[in-house]
Amino acid sequence: MGRYTLMRLGIFAGCLVVVWGLVYSGIAPRGLGDSNYMWVVLLSLLISAPISFVVLRKERDRASAQVVARVDRMKANLESNRSQEDETADDAARHGAQGQTS
């Protein structure tokens, strides 16, 4: 997941540099008043999102598979712990019942 995040940040940084260059060279429009920095960042986000969606598809699928595997492993561990607790409670109930009947 970290690799995907770093790749996504890299695409955003590249878009930020390109948009900044386009805005300051006059090819792309400037923001109103003091909002120019915000305009450059928002435009970079808008451009980098679809690029990331297309370019990082395989990496996103790989990260998703890792997350699913981790969640499945955690569910299995929780279920294993629950069954152990149930067995322990059953054993304690049996031993308690045997002690009372003796």
Are 17 and 44 in contact, with CB atoms under 8 Å apart? no
Chain centroid to CA 87: 36
What phi-psi label fits residue 64: left (phi over 0), alpha (psi between -120 and 50 degrees) or beta? alpha
pLDDT (tens digit per residue) in 22-57: 888 888 877 777 678 888 999 999 999 999 999 999
Q: What is the pLDDT of residue 71?
A: 93
The Cα 97–Cα 102 span in angstroms is: 9
